[in-house]
Amino acid sequence: MVEETIQVIRETEAKAGAIVKEADAKCRKILDDASKEADMLKADQAEEIRRQAESMMEAAKEQGAQSLKEAASAVEKEISALKELASEKEEQAVSLVISQLVS
């Protein structure tokens, strides 16, 4: 009877050891899977951030080009206005010189 009890205890210990090993293996697999998934998520997020940065950069370039175009247009208008003013002043100066010469 004692031998049977000892045998049962040994079998139970062996089963418990096997269960612990199996649980340990499952734990390692779960941790490995979680680590791989975290790496994938990290890579996906990095790619998404890169795409967003590219999109923002492109938008900034377009906005800069538009601002440059608007500034060039404003400068052209200013140049035209100054040329017109200079032309008027030239006509006035010519008229003044002619009137001074005639008198």
Per-residue pLDDT tens over the stretch 27-66: 999 999 999 999 999 999 999 999 999 999 999 999 999 9
Helix (H) or strand (E) holding 54: helix 2-102
**Sign of the Cα pseudo-torsion (42, 43, 44, 47, in order):** positive
pLDDT of 103 higher than 80: no
CA distance 76 to 82: 10
What is the token pair recorded at 26? 């499952």
pLDDT (tens digit per residue) in 58-90: 999 999 999 999 999 999 999 999 999 998 888
Count of domains for the chain: 1
Query: In this predicted structure, what is the pLDDT of residue 5?
Result: 86
CA distance 102 to 64: 56
User: Does the pTM exceed 0.85?
Assistant: no
User: Which residue range(s) make up the domain with 45?
Assistant: 1-102
Regarding predicted confidence, which is higher, 90 or 20? 20
